[in-house]
A and B are shown apart, each in its own frame.
Chain A
Amino acid sequence: MATSSERSPPPFPDSEDQDVLEEVGGRDSDEEDDEVDDLFMSTSNPPLTKMDTTLTPASHPSDVLMKPPSDIMDDPIIEPVGSQAEIKPTSEFVSEPSDDFVDLTNNITDSPEAQRAAIDTTEIPLDEPSDEFVDIFGGESEAQREEVVVVADVTVEAAAGRSEVTSDVKDPPDDRKTGSDDEQEAKETSTDSIIDLSDDLPASETPQPAPASNTFVDPLVDFLSDAPPAADAKIRSRATVDLFEDEGNDLFTEPRQTKSAKQLQKSLFGERDEDLFGEPLGAASKKPVSRDLKSKPVTTKAASDVSDTGGPLQDSDPADIFSEEAVTTVPSIKKTSTVNSKTNGVHSEEETDIFAEATVELSLDSPRDERMKDVTIKPSASAPAVSAAASLAKPQSASLEELDEEEEEEQEDKFEIVISVKDPEKIGDGMNAYMAYKVTTQTSLPMFRNKTFTVRRRFSDFLGLYEKLSEKHGPNGFIVPPPPEKSILGMTKMKVGKDDSSSADFVERRRAALERYLQRVVNHPSLLQDPDVREFLEREELPRAVSTQALSGAGFLKMINKATDAVSKMTIKMNESDVWFEEKLQEVESADQQFRKLHAMVESLVVHRKELSLNTASFAKSTAMLGSAEDNTALSRALSQLAEVEDKMEQLHQEQATNDTFSFAELIADYIRLLGAVRGSFDHRMKAWQRWQDAQTVLQKKRETEAKLLWANKPDKLQLAKEEIAEWEVKVTQYERDFDRVSATVRKEVSRFDKEKARNFKREIINYLECLLHSQQQLIKYWDAFLPEAKAIA
């Protein structure tokens, strides 16, 4: 127990480690590409793509190609500034920047595509787009910053502040408003606009027109994130180099200026639509492009999520909320300007965040090949997915404002994730056979890359997941939902290949139990963040779980019992400082007994129901025989009708038995297991206490030795003793803190458990009653149909 506690000073030690690993060291274990590489790639990518697309529209292949990549790669901050200077004077260069736009556009449009692709294929591509965004934004914002530094110091501060205040939702809108106000000014003075830029991305966009007229490169860089798709769309719709060049200029210069002036208060996207599409673009190209525009933020969010979730536990609160917000706001952008402004605020935060990451990794080299491929993919592909995301996220926007206060609540309630375990399938033959299940996850959570995904898992994988989770989170006082036990009898039957009703029943029961188990795991806000859980749900192939044998069947139950025995023994020793725990433990014990009793009763009820169903069936048979033996035709007819009615009733009874089983017997069995887990968490708390006490005893002893040494006057040893005392004092405080933390967690977990329990039972009961009512109505129907038959005899 000592080892486990030592590892865990912060609340989520393992996950944190993971986090750090993923962020810094890359995800070599999980994903093939390092994140660092990705990020880096993305930074370098924009230029790369430039190369690609520039080739077609603009005829500056060599120059453009060579320059931007190298620049950006080396130092994105410097690059924009430099290009800015270049672009200003010459009109030739206008085409160049526009080319850049195109490329960047492609990039950006790519990323949605790439993401889209990622949805279909694997995780690796997913990282890329997100990283791209990160980079782009990073680059951008850096560029902005650079400018800002040049122009005004104040803005830099603001930007910095913003990056830190990521979790604050209310600020962004305000900023946005001010930003929009600023925008008006921005037209006139580029410095102001820059301030806006640093504040919000959208803000930065609107000011850009002003700079655009001045032929600033920086704004263009900004546009990379937003405007490029527009440019891209144009290119597609008209497909001419000239148009692109001209209109590109127009686009950025004229419309922007005028319209941004008029519609300052409007949302970023709204403006865009009107500006870019309303005027310069063909009607046909509007829709996809606008979607792309929308998709961008989504993807960026996704990107940020990905990066966040990599180490979810560490900075879960700000990062998560932030990401959620971001998602929420995306759909709302279309609707209201206020929400929009919020989004923008969030946006900017994100950027800064990402930007911070990006800066670290800017100096790395990038594989360019992948980028090239991405360019070819169409952006419109991403549209449906994005819109779906938007619709899913809509409800969340309502709760945006409460986010601050009720982070935790919100998180809990918002976790919309539904897991279904289906299609149990026997794989293999003989004693090596096992059952595999399809695990399908449906979620609106941004932390997952797809909305739905399915993996195939065998039973021992479920057990393996539990082992990992309980090892990681158990010592911290979390209640880790236990999976159904291994059943030697049931499995042997399966292996032998008996296809009777009892083995079908077994499979169905287990399938449902696994489903509930997984659902419980993902409903737990902390467990959901665990990388193992996500891996379990998402990853195609899992390493084979070993040593789950220890968990099998009765052994597992015994283990729990042993643990509880140990706990009860320890309670005697432990003088409980907290009455709450004492009471709660007793409650848990009695609840356990009651549940066991209830379970036995429901089981017997189910047995009777099955018996009734069997008896009804045989009665139906004998009625049919009686009917056939009867020579009074009306009576005979009625009797055979009756036989049919009884057959149907047998079905009803059968269903009722199943209903009883799954609504109550299994639910209660789940709770018996869960109560075991609850006691396990008490056990872990006890262990933490024990460790603390032990440490205290040791400290006491050390002090005594010190006193003795003092008495014996042995200064050389005294020094050593003092050091030891200091060491143990630290340990004692550490352990005490651990204990307090575990206690707090257990308390929280138990109250969550209680809440869940009441909710769970209520839901099940409602389901149950619905079934019951339905079968009664069915019964009424049968009787109604039979009554005239009976009356017709005579």
Chain B
Amino acid sequence: MMEEVNEVTSSLSVHGHNIKVTEVLKDGDTLTFLVVSQKLSGTGEYHVDRTYDDFEWLQQHLFSQEDVPGIQGVIFPSLPAKAQVNASAKAMKQLGFLGLGEWLPYCKALESFLRQIVAHSILGKNKAVEILLTSSDPPGRQRVKKNIFNRLSQAVEERRKEGHKDVDEFFQSERVRNLVLTGCAKTAAERFLDVVQSEQKIAVACGHFSASLHLCVEPGEDPDKQAFSKVCVKLSEVFDSMKKNMTSVAENNMNTLGLGLDMESRCQEAEKEMLFRRTCKLVELETARRNAEKAKPLKKAAMEEEKKAAETEFDHICGVAKQEVARFKAARVEMLQQALVQWCEKQLLTAKETADQFNQHLQAFRGMA
């Protein structure tokens, strides 16, 4: 199957920029996402059901394109962690923003994952992408074996190689910067998540308050009592609109800047991985060089061969990586800018609407006898 995919190098039959993950269906414990893409030819649309496994399958395929030179220099778009229906608190925490709001942000994240892949000059050419987007058969149902990008092995190696002195100034500084940014982005996303969660709690509390204000309504003809009841009902309305306001503020936060920060955090993570892979290759190359130097004449030729191969591969990786870093930087700035602008606009809109509502309530109260 893998071979099949790799053999076909034709480009996609769909528009990459408006791929959408529109719906999420809960089927028992599994979540099924509806992926919609527009055909290049004509006006038709592809509607396909995909599970998380399918996305994972796609990612594995992209990782394992060993025939593409310098593939390890690519910053792979990061696939969000697996979403589960009844996830543990820890798993939810790992998901961060993506776990909020009935999986809507998660769909968004998957959507941008797909779009990034399609837009990528190397990854978009992979046939697996086409299959995922258009094939009516879900491709990822059979298990794929974990390959070299297994995260577990990475984690072990990481400590040893992360601090390795780089030969290239550019990459050295990029690694330092990336390390800082990864940390910062992650904290910022987490803090922002806290903010959103507090806002959601406030919304809930306002809702409760609003509801229980209705209980204070007393029956009876007594004008004083009626006046108080009226006040309660009105106040309940006020708190209801406060609740709505808070809800939409939280939603805005979540869907714009929240997602943006999450994405930023994961992208930095992906860049870090790429840089790490490159560092690994560098270490590999250095070892090969040392081996070639020390090698006994008998093995010298083979060692030289190996060294050469490593050198070319490393060069390839470096070349791709440089391009990738430049592309990545531009992309993330644009992404963050969009997130900020959208966020600001939405919040502005919400704030204005809310102010209007409050004003109406205020007038209503003032008008009350």
Q: Using a CB–CB distance below 8 Å, which chain A residues touch chain B?
A: 587, 591, 594-595, 597-598, 601-602, 604-605, 608-609, 611-612, 615-616, 618-619, 621-623, 625-626, 629-632, 634-635, 638, 642, 751, 754-755, 757-758, 761-762, 765-766, 769-770, 772-773, 776-777, 779-780, 783-784, 786-787, 790-791, 793-794
Contact = CB atoms under 8 A, between A and B. Distances in A.
Given A601-B205, A609-B202, A761-B228, A794 B340 contact: no
Interface stretch (B149-157, B282-290, B357-365): B357-365
Contacts of B343: 790
Contacts, number: 154
B188 A762 contact: no
Given A611-B198, A629-B184, A632-B329, 20 more contacts: A587-B218, A591-B218, A597-B215, A598-B213, A601-B212, A611-B201, A612-B202, A615-B191, A615-B194, A622-B187, A626-B181, A629-B180, A635-B337, A762-B227, A762-B368, A766-B365, A776-B358, A777-B355, A790-B344, A793-B340
B235 interface: yes
Interface in B195-216: 195, 197-199, 201-202, 205-206, 208-209, 212-213, 215-216
Interface stretch (B81-89, B294-302, B345-353): B345-353
A787 B234 CA distance: 34
B185 interface: yes
Contact of B216 (A591, A779, A784, A786): A591
B191 A618 contact: yes
Contacts of A612: 195, 198-199, 202
A762 B231 contact: yes
A635 B208 CA distance: 40
Contact of A787 (B194, B206, B345, B365): B345
A754 B216 contact: no
Contacts of A751: 224
A769 B238 contact: yes
B40 interface: no
A626 B199 contact: no
Contact of B358 (A601, A638, A772): A772
B225 interface: yes
B187 to A, nearest CB: 5
B198 A615 contact: yes
Contacts of A765: 231, 234-235, 238, 365
B191 A622 contact: yes
B234 to A, nearest CB: 8
B351 A598 contact: no
Interface of B: 177, 180-181, 184-185, 187-188, 190-192, 194-195, 197-199, 201-202, 205-206, 208-209, 212-213, 215-216, 218, 222, 224-225, 227-228, 231-232, 234-235, 238, 242, 329, 333-334, 336-337, 340-341, 343-345, 347-348, 351-352, 354-355, 358-359, 361-362, 365-366, 368
B366 A766 contact: yes
The CB with the most chain A CB atoms within 10 A, among B201, B234, B344, is that of B344
A601 B344 contact: no
Contact of B340 (A587, A621, A642, A762): A642
Contacts of A758: 224-225, 227-228, 231
Contact of B184 (A619, A625, A754, A777): A625
Contacts of A755: 224
A591 B220 CA distance: 14
B331 to A, nearest CB: 12
Contact of A779 (B181, B190, B351): B351
A597 B348 contact: no
B358 A773 contact: yes
Chain A, interface SS category = helix
Nearest to B196: A615
The 10 closest A-B pairs by CB, nearest first: A612-B198, A619-B191, A790-B340, A776-B355, A758-B227, A754-B224, A793-B337, A605-B205, A758-B228, A615-B194
Contact of A635 (B177, B234, B336, B341): B336
Nearest to A649: B195
Given A609-B202, A611-B201, A619 B329 contact: no
A765 B234 CA distance: 10
Nearest to B227: A758
Nearest to B366: A766
Nearest to A787: B344
A757 B216 CA distance: 13
Contact of B337 (A602, A615, A794): A794
B207 to A, nearest CB: 10
Chain B, interface SS category = helix
A271 B101 CA distance: 82
10 contacts: A597-B215, A598-B216, A611-B201, A619-B192, A622-B184, A622-B188, A623-B191, A626-B188, A629-B180, A776-B355
A616 to B, nearest CB: 6
Contacts of A611: 198, 201
Contacts of A618: 191, 194
Contacts of B228: 754, 757-758, 761
Contacts of B362: 766, 769-770, 773
Given A758-B228, A762-B368, A780 B351 contact: yes
B171 to A, nearest CB: 15
Contacts of B235: 761, 765
Contact of B344 (A623, A626, A783): A783
A589 B329 CA distance: 66
A783 B351 contact: yes
B333 A793 contact: yes
A611 B177 CA distance: 32
Contacts of B205: 601, 604-605, 608
B348 A787 contact: yes
Nearest to B218: A587
B212 A619 contact: no
Contacts of B194: 615, 618-619
Contacts of A776: 351, 354-355, 358
Contacts of A597: 212, 215
A622 B238 CA distance: 33
A779 B222 CA distance: 41
Nearest to B180: A629
B365 A635 contact: no
B188 A769 contact: no
A777 B228 CA distance: 29
A261 B195 CA distance: 84
A605 B206 contact: yes
B202 to A, nearest CB: 5
A167 B241 CA distance: 53
Contacts of B225: 754, 758
A605 to B, nearest CB: 4
Contact of A625 (B187, B190, B347): B187
A472 B123 CA distance: 88
A619 B347 contact: no
Nearest to B346: A783
A630 B192 CA distance: 18
A609 B199 CA distance: 8
Contacts of A625: 184, 187-188
A757 B334 CA distance: 56
B364 to A, nearest CB: 9
A664 B224 CA distance: 20
A164 to B, nearest CB: 37
A418 B213 CA distance: 30
Nearest to B348: A783
Contact of B181 (A587, A623, A630): A630
B337 A790 contact: yes
A793 B209 contact: no
Contacts of A780: 348, 351-352, 355
B268 to A, nearest CB: 10
A633 B269 CA distance: 22
The CB with the most chain B CB atoms within 10 A, among A622, A631, A784, is that of A622
B209 A601 contact: yes
Contact of B361 (A616, A623, A769): A769
Contacts of A772: 242, 358
Nearest to B369: A762
